[in-house]
Structure 1
Amino acid sequence: MTTRAAPWRQGPLDDHRTSPGPRLLPYHRLGHADPEHRWWKPLVELLLFGAFYVVLTIIFGIVWAVGLVVVRGEEALDEIFLAGTELDMMDPAIFFMLFFSLVLMIPALLAARAIMGPRPVGLLLSVTGRLRWGFLGRCLLVALVVYAVGHAAAALVEYALLGTLTAPQPVEGFWWLIAMIVLVVPLQCAAEELVFRGYLLQTVGRWLRRPVFAILLPVPLFTFGHLYDAWGLLAVAVMAVVAGYLTWRTGGLEAAIALHVVNNVIATLFGALSLADPDAEESSWVALAISAGMQLLFAWLVVRDAGRRGVEVTRTVHPPRLPVLLAPGPGPGGHPGGGSGRPDHEPAAWVCPGPPACPGHWAERAPGPAPQPLS
């Protein structure tokens, strides 16, 4: 089987044909790039992923707790977990625990995919089987510009209505938080995209061909993993739909990762500057309208850029090349039996394993009628 990525407009999709010809697979159908695809494999992959993630989380939790006690003293764990108060996400230790525990989903999921397939494992990232760094960089730049303009406009509206702007006040441990916002938050976003837009889209796509199901069915799982009110949950759902659409439409996770990274980096940065409360669970329709507007603008710009640059959005998959069995005839050398010493009355069959090398060999006669040409 040979595969390759196909450019932006590569004709109509033909990922459901039963004939032996090549198939064009969009991102959510890449599970069918595996000739050994079975409907139950994503379920086993989920079990393996869960088992690996639990083990990694336990190990990380032990290491984190020991490190906290060494740095802050024996009472640190009691102060955090037994004080009867909510966890302060702007505490650098809590911040690292919450975000890095999600990063562990990356090795857990990649290990499960390496065992169950399809291969290469990079098909989780894009139709090319790898992360397209150039495209990711362009998406990050677009997201930064869109969010910068959006938040600047919101600040101007706030100033026009209230006459004042909130002054930034760095929280305690600000520089530790900045280091983790730069190093850990992007990995946390990538981990969530691998699971919710990578694994789940491709799992639904193994069973259902239409992309709308692959995009929408994982949305509730992502949405209700957040503890917000109705407006906040709607904002998360909009982001999940936009990210799922971009993953399908651009053939990979790069645009969704860029959107998620910029959104979370700015949100946590505002929290570290006391410009927003990262622990807040209440939102408003205004916040929903602003975030949805920025995400839809980002999606439009990215899809437009991807189309202009011919970004690969499907993968061309050719079926495995089968051996060709020909009727009895002269073998190498031009005489019956190919010089093998067989008598002329004993039929033989020429078996060609296919390119790139096709030396062939003489096979024993099978019981039954004489071999016929196969195509």
Structure 2
Amino acid sequence: MATPYHRLARETPAYAWWKLPLAGLVALVAYAGLTIALIAAGAAWFVLTDSSNGLDEWLDAAGDLDLEHLDFFVLDMLALVLLIPAIFIGVAVVGPRPVGYLSSVAGRLRWRWMGLMALLSSIVFIVTIGASLVVDELTDPTSVSGASSVDGRVVAALVAIVLIVPFQAAAEEYVFRGYLMQLFGSWSRFAAVPVILTTPLFVAGHLYGLWGLLDVGLFGLTAAILTIRTGGLEAAIAAHAANNIVLFVLDALGMIAATDDSDAGPTDLIPTVVSGIVILLLVEWAARRTGLQRTREPIPDPPAPQAPMWPPPPYAMLWYPPAGYAPPPTAAEPPRVLHPDTPAYPGELPEGWNS
């Protein structure tokens, strides 16, 4: 039986119940070390820019993602991006390996599929968020600010958004729809279990009001379903990045406050619901149209152990092969055909069963 994404860490001979929890602890230690290095780099930056109180101000405002302070914004985003190497370090040190199976059932990020998902997601979020702004402008002209003039500060903000937000989105996906989904998926075969468990944890990682948290929860549910249905993180990363880029670009242009949900209400959930449904339908259509690999080939059963005969039977020493004797050839087992993009997994070869 083929292995779905959420069971990749479980259905391998190298699996042990303690490995993924321990990998999480190692990832936390690695993240703490990387964060200390980032704080030191931030302190050096503020010294070079003659901002004596810059470090304290940044630490006090950490998590605000305020584009008015572009250096604060970049440092906050980098603090999230560091989750990627931390998770990879944890899984690489403890296992189960290879770490590429955090990305997809193909053992890597499928870049062509990622590009298609980025295109579809960008179109969906530009249309839905843009339509939401138009409706808000028609119903309440004071709710949407006019675009500010594009000066050097705005251009710098736009460049920073385009360059760093995709990595921030990927970092959150590797944590919530990657590591945690495979951790919970090792507990149950039912895909609904990791989907249900990872969604509230994703919500807990955001500091918003009620409607903002519900909005995050709806998106987290969509991303989890995308991951299960496509056998990888590419669609979820693309949707997450497209959504955040559109919101932060509008924020940089002064049209909205991307992280301020103080005036949010139930109608603000409509764009998220619509975009989620549309993306799920488009991704399902694209996956079928392209023949996307959604599961992993099953790992073969281990060979039966050959117990040595000891002591040897009496007749074993009575016959010696003549010179030039060669045993008759045995039929070789036909090679097992794997998906061409699937690298070896622990246990793929017979000797791997003892690792």
TM over 0.5: yes
Tell me by how many angstroms 1:75 deviates: 3.4
Q: How many residues align?
A: 319
- 1:298 paired to 2:276: no
Q: In the alignment, which residue of structure 2 is the partner of 1:148?
A: 126
Whether contact under 8 Å (1:215, 1:245) holds in the other structure is: yes
Q: In the alignment, which residue of structure 2 is the partner of 1:10?
A: none
| Alpha-carbon distance in structure 2 between the residues aligned to 1:87 and 1:251 | 31
Q: In the alignment, which residue of structure 1 is the partner of 2:145?
A: 166
Q: In the alignment, which residue of structure 2 is the partner of 1:70?
A: 48
> Which protein has the larger Cα radius of gyration, Structure 1 or Structure 2?
1
Q: Alignment partner for residue 123 of structure 1, among 88, 101, 115?
A: 101
Secondary structure, counterpart of 1:35 in structure 2 = coil
- 1:138 paired to 2:116: yes
Whether contact under 8 Å (1:127, 1:315) holds in the other structure is: yes
Secondary structure, counterpart of 2:3 in structure 1 = strand
Whether contact under 8 Å (2:145, 2:256) holds in the other structure is: no
For structure 1, the residue ranges without an aligned partner over 5 or more in a row are 1-22, 329-335, 358-375
1:65–1:24 distance in 2 versus 1, CA, 3 Å: same
| Alpha-carbon distance in structure 2 between the residues aligned to 1:144 and 1:153 | 14
| Alpha-carbon distance in structure 1 between the residues aligned to 2:9 and 2:274 | 33
Q: In the alignment, which residue of structure 1 is the partner of 2:248?
A: 268
Whether contact under 8 Å (1:34, 1:119) holds in the other structure is: no
Secondary structure, counterpart of 2:227 in structure 1 = helix
Whether contact under 8 Å (2:103, 2:174) holds in the other structure is: yes
Q: Alignment partner for residue 318 of structure 1, among 299, 320, 327?
A: 299
Whether contact under 8 Å (2:227, 2:236) holds in the other structure is: yes
Whether contact under 8 Å (1:122, 1:131) holds in the other structure is: yes
Whether contact under 8 Å (1:171, 1:274) holds in the other structure is: no
Tell me by how many angstroms 1:277 deviates: 1.2
1:156–1:34 distance in 2 versus 1, CA, 3 Å: same
Tell me by how many angstroms 1:152 deviates: 3.0
Tell me by how many angstroms 1:130 deviates: 0.7
| Alpha-carbon distance in structure 2 between the residues aligned to 1:79 and 1:240 | 31
**What letter corresponds to residue 118 of structure 2 in structure 1?**
L
Q: In the alignment, which residue of structure 2 is the partner of 1:343?
A: 318
Secondary structure, counterpart of 1:315 in structure 2 = coil
1:12-91 equivalences in 2 (<5 Å): 23-80=1-58, 88-91=66-69
Q: Alignment partner for residue 159 of structure 2, among 179, 182, 200?
A: 179
| Alpha-carbon distance in structure 1 between the residues aligned to 2:170 and 2:195 | 17
Q: Deviations over 1:37-92 (max 9, x none)?
A: 11111110111000000000001111111111211332333555579xx7744311
Secondary structure, counterpart of 1:317 in structure 2 = coil
Q: In the alignment, which residue of structure 1 is the partner of 2:340?
A: none
Q: In the alignment, which residue of structure 2 is the partner of 1:111?
A: 89
Q: In the alignment, which residue of structure 1 is the partner of 2:232?
A: 252
Whether contact under 8 Å (1:34, 1:117) holds in the other structure is: no
- 1:281 paired to 2:267: no
Secondary structure, counterpart of 2:292 in structure 1 = coil
1:214–1:168 distance in 2 versus 1, CA, 3 Å: same
Q: In the alignment, which residue of structure 2 is the partner of 1:202?
A: 182
For structure 2, the residue ranges without an aligned partner over 5 or more in a row are 310-314, 321-327, 336-355
Tell me by how many angstroms 1:355 deviates: 6.1
Q: Single out whichever of 282-291 and 241-250 deviates more from structure 2.
A: 282-291
Q: Single out whichever of 63-72 and 168-177 deviates more from structure 2.
A: 168-177
Q: Deviations over 1:209-257 (max 9, x none)?
A: 1000011101111102111111110110001111001100110001100
Whether contact under 8 Å (1:244, 1:256) holds in the other structure is: yes
**What letter corresponds to residue 343 of structure 1 in structure 2?**
L
Secondary structure, counterpart of 1:316 in structure 2 = coil
**What letter corresponds to residue 75 of structure 1 in structure 2?**
N
Tell me by how many angstroms 1:185 deviates: 0.7
Superposed CA RMSD: 3.0
Q: Deviations over 1:262-290 (max 9, x none)?
A: 01111111111111113413222111111
Indicate the structure with greater helix content: 2
